[in-house]
Amino acid sequence: MSSVFVSSPYVAPVNSLQRLMIQVIIALLPGTLTYAWLFGPGVLINIALACVFALLIEAVVLKLRDKPVMVHLTDLSAIVAAWLFALCLPMHSPWWLVLVGIGFTMIAGKHVYGGLGFNPFNPAMVGYVVLLISFPREMTTWYLPASVSGATLSLSEALAYSFGGVDIQQWDALSSATPLDQVKTGIGQQIAISDIRLSPVFGQFAGKGWEWISFAWLIGGLWLLLTRTIRWHIPVALLLGVVSMATVFYLLDMESYASPLFHLLSGAVIIGAFFIATDPVTAATTDRGRLAYGLMIGCLIYVIRVWGGYPDGVAFAVLLANMCVPFIDYYTQPRVYGEQ
């Protein structure tokens, strides 16, 4: 007879961390593949490097913290964080940039707080923001899609770039500011949006290539909703925040403010709404809180893009909202059964 008393429920678990993380990875595939298809294999190298570094760093830190290494490595949370971090980088980045960023992601973003579940800030965003502030040149060297420049770097060229085997100047002709950056710079120079949009980097709705990647993230996001990996509150509120801000200012002055659709499909809004802001550890936990949290990020993204110092604002908006989460959670508790 068993002498150990286990407490009910006695049903086999239906969910696991690993299963959740696998759903996120599956959802990342359409966007990632579209990205690689339009901009070349650089992004895949970034992801691979980030994943390897993340697993190595996590293994060492877990060992130092005297935690079971394999149990935590196989929950795949490090892979997801590394993947999202790698997607923030310019498509061609030197290996050391990836290493420094992922180091901050894993150590400063996650383990100094106690590991998975205890970090108040989105780890991938912590790593990305550290790089953005510390290495502005490397972090703003973006490349054009094949449809604009006519060519992208091949796998071997991209590898050589990552590992410093070639002179970066050699590819200067293919590099360019992002569409968001061009709009920001153009408006700063008093150029009308309709004139800025004449540049070949712009496509149907937003940046050429970028708009299709955004659609691919949307497909992944819908998959996450469909599998109930995430709930609808954060993405819907976030998109609503961006769209409502953009609509108001667009209607006020169409030549000085970009259209809502442009804002939605540029930069990291879609991936931010479905993949980054929905990181459960750092997001609000109540339904109403999630609406507030998403709305706050959406509005902040627009504010930073239009009046801030950076062309995109997803990372900063998410980190700022992370700070407010305990406050939001406390004041949005649901009404408990039987309470008046």
Partner 1 sequence: MPRLHHFPGGIKLKGHKSESLVRGLQQASLPRQLFLPLKQHIGEHNKPLVDVGDRVLKGHMIASGSSLICAAIHAPTSGVISAIENFPVAHPSGQADTCIVIDVDDKDEAAVPVLPDLQQVDAERMIELICRAGIVGLGGAVFPTSPKLSRGKAQGIDTLIINGVECEPYITCDDSLMRNYAAEVLRGTGYLQRILRPQRTVIAIEDNKPEAIEKMTRAFAPSGLKDTEIVAIPTIYPSGGEKQLIQILTGKEVPHGQLAFDIGLFCQNVGTCVAITRALEQDQPLISRVVSISGDNIRQPGNWEVRLGTPIRHLIELAGGYLNGDSAHLVMGGPMMGFSLAGDQVPIVKASNNILVMREETIPHSPGYHDECIRCSKCTEVCPASLLPQQLYWHVRARAFDRAEEFHLFDCIECGCCSAVCPSTIPLVQYYRAAKSDIRAAQKAQIKSDHARIRFESRERRLLLKKQQEEERRRLKREALQKKKAGSTAPTVDPVQAALERVKARKQAAQEEST
Residue ranges that bind partner 1, judged by CB under 8 A: 1-2, 4-17, 19-20, 68, 71, 75, 77, 115-118, 231, 280-281, 283, 285-287, 329, 333-340
CB of 226 to partner 1, least distance (A): 16
Assess contact for 241 and 299: CB atoms under 8 A: yes
9 cis-preceded (ω within 30 degrees of 0): yes
* C-alpha dihedral (145, 150, 156, 160), degrees to nearest 10: -70
Residue among 77 and 176 whose Cβ is closer to partner 1: 77
For the bound state, the minimum distance from the C-beta of residue 73 to partner 1, rounded and expressed in Å, comes to: 13
CA nearest neighbour of 85 among 109, 101, 66, 67: 101
Residue 145's nearest CA partner among 39, 41, 44 is 39
- Is the CB of 253 or the CB of 287 nearer to partner 1? 287
Which H/E stretch holds residue 221?
helix 210-226
202: β partners: 207
Contact 69, 62 (CB under 8 A): yes
Which residues, listed in sequence order, are joined to residue 207 by a DSSP beta bridge?
Answer: 202
Q: Which is nearer to partner 1, 2 or 190 (CB)?
A: 2
- Partners of 142 in the β-ladder: 176
Select 307 or 337, whichever has its Cβ closest to partner 1. 337
> In the complex with partner 1, which residue's Cβ is closer, 75 or 138?
75
Shortest reach from residue 111's CB to partner 1, in Å: 12
Q: CB–CB of 195/186 below 8 Å? A: yes
The DSSP letter of residue 119 is: -
Question: Please, what is the minimum distance in Å from the beta carbon of residue 135 to partner 1?
Answer: 31
The full DSSP string for 278-292 is T-TTTS--SHHHHHH
Alpha-carbon gap, residue 285 to 305, rounded angstroms: 27
In the complex, the smallest distance separating the C-beta of residue 26 from partner 1, rounded to whole angstroms, is: 16
> Minimum Å distance from CB 332 to partner 1?
10
Q: Look-up: residue for tokens 């002498």?
A: 3
The distance of closest approach from Cβ of residue 312 to partner 1 in the complex, given in angstroms and rounded to an integer, is: 26
Q: Which is nearer to partner 1, 281 or 292 (CB)?
A: 281
Question: Smaller CB distance to partner 1: residue 5 or 307?
Answer: 5
Give 124 or 148: the residue with its C-beta nearer to partner 1: 124
Q: Where are the alpha helices (DSSP H) in 15-154?
A: 17-39, 42-64, 69-73, 77-88, 95-103, 123-134, 136-139, 146-149
Structure-token match 């966007």, residue found:
31
